[in-house]
Amino acid sequence: MRIEASIRGHWRALSPLPPPGRLRTLSLATLANTVGTGLWVAGAALYLTRAVGLSPTEVGLGLTLAGLAGLTASVPLGALADRHDPRTLRAVLQLAQAVVATAYLLVGSFPVFLLVAALDALLVSGNLAVRAALVAAVGGPEGRVHAFATLRAVANLGVALGAGLAAFALVADTGWAYRSLVLGNVATYLVSAALIMRLPSYPPARRPLRPGPGLALRDGPFLAVAGASAVLSLHWLALTLVLPLWVVTRTDAPPVTVSAVLLVNTLLTVLLAVRLSRGARHALPAATTMRRAGLVLAAGMLLWAASGAVPTAAAVGLLLGATVIYTLGDLWHAGAGAALAYDLAAPDAIGAYQGVDALLAGLTRAAGPALLTWLILDGGPIGWLVLAGLLAVTGLAVPPLTRRALATRAGPPRRPADDQPISSST
């Protein structure tokens, strides 16, 4: 009995899943959803090129155009979550995503692919804002950052599991094997929607007037803080896009080091995401954490840069050690970014503000690949130095920007004169 209790205790310490309750239910829904994400991300390019017959250029162009189109959905769907039950809205969106994911089986030409990819991107972008509103409802004002960090850890675990399962299809390398990944992704959307509907409903409070999405778009101090967080999110592209190319073209490290780097990042995220979010539940401590994140991320960039100037063993050691440092900064940035986006939002427009936050991050992801590949792969160590400086300066700017945003909220209450009245029913 003691051994069993000890095993259960160690599992609870390592597992990102929270104790039974609403957050556990939402975590299981996230796990199902992200297993599907891992299946699709690992096999999408090969399915579209080897099974459908598109060229790599068509796939890249289609996904870029679809991603830009998808950005338009985050703010309006986030605002919709302020007016209606975010639980039901997210479940409906998951069902819609299942339908669109199934449509990938019908793709046979570039125009059809572009249409399906655009619909997919619209739903993905809008669903992120709705999910943020649902997380706020489940966690409450004091627990939403903890809930966000928990779901981040669970999502990393789910993507890793899905990518591992996708390996079987990649080894088989047949059309039907790749189509099985599409069907697996569809199934996980359905499971996720069913789990979400096990949560209680969260109808919005009755208000004669409710702010529309324009309020968040006009909130300059919030935009400044969210914009700074978006700039810091360039670090994610540095890890997933630039670093793999840097390893194989500018260092003596073997290519397998890329897999080791991503594995270290995933494992540390699963283990530490919740723990490192505890000190950043409200705006001022979150701003301090964001400053720390910028400085730590800058240090990670400098160590990655140094990997190009040392022998093989030292390069591998630098790459892995820098990844540990980078992941700490990544997790501090994620937790602080969530806290700031929640705490600086108008209380009755959480979804709209999350949509604007997602929009700014999406614009950075759209512009970042071209910028960073030019800056670092063409510029070499100087490019890493410039990126490190940008991250450090941006992190240092967040506390004064946050204090300014909080000062504006201490003034007279906003008057939603330009917003449309809505029904309070759901």
Q: Cα–Cα distance between 85 and 203 in angstroms, integer?
A: 5
Q: Is 230 contained in some domain?
A: yes
Q: Which amino acid is at 389?
A: G
Higher pLDDT, 410 or 47: 47
Instruction: Report the alpha-carbon distance of residue 281 to residue 145 in Å, rounded.
Output: 6
Q: Are residues 354 and 395 in the same domain?
A: yes
pTM listed for this prediction: 0.84
CA atoms of 264 and 266, how far apart (whole Å) = 6
Instruction: Express each pLDDT in 44-93 by its tens digit.
Output: 888 898 889 988 888 888 888 888 898 889 889 988 888 889 999 999 99
Residue from 230, 215, 250, 266 nearest 398 by CA: 230
Q: Are residues 192 and 226 in the same domain?
A: no
Residues 232 and 113 in one domain: no
Q: Angle between the 86-103 and 74-83 helix axes, to the nearest 10 degrees?
A: 140
Using one digit for the tens of pLDDT, what is the confidence trace for 2-50? 544 454 544 455 567 888 899 999 999 999 999 999 899 888 888 898 8
CA–CA gap between residue 123 and residue 107 (Å, rounded): 18
Domain count, the chain: 2
380 dihedral zone (left: phi>0; alpha: psi -120 to 50; beta): left
**Is 148 a member of any domain?**
yes
- Inform me whether the pLDDT recorded for 325 exceeds 90: yes
Given pLDDT bands bounded at 50, 70 and 90, which one contains residue 409? confident
CA angle (192, 69, 374) in 5-degree steps: 105
Pull the structure tokens for residue 356.
Answer: 């604007």
CATH of the domain at 57: 1.20.1250.20
Q: Are residues 161 and 46 in the same domain?
A: yes
Task: Tell me the residue range of the domain where 124 lies.
Answer: 22-196
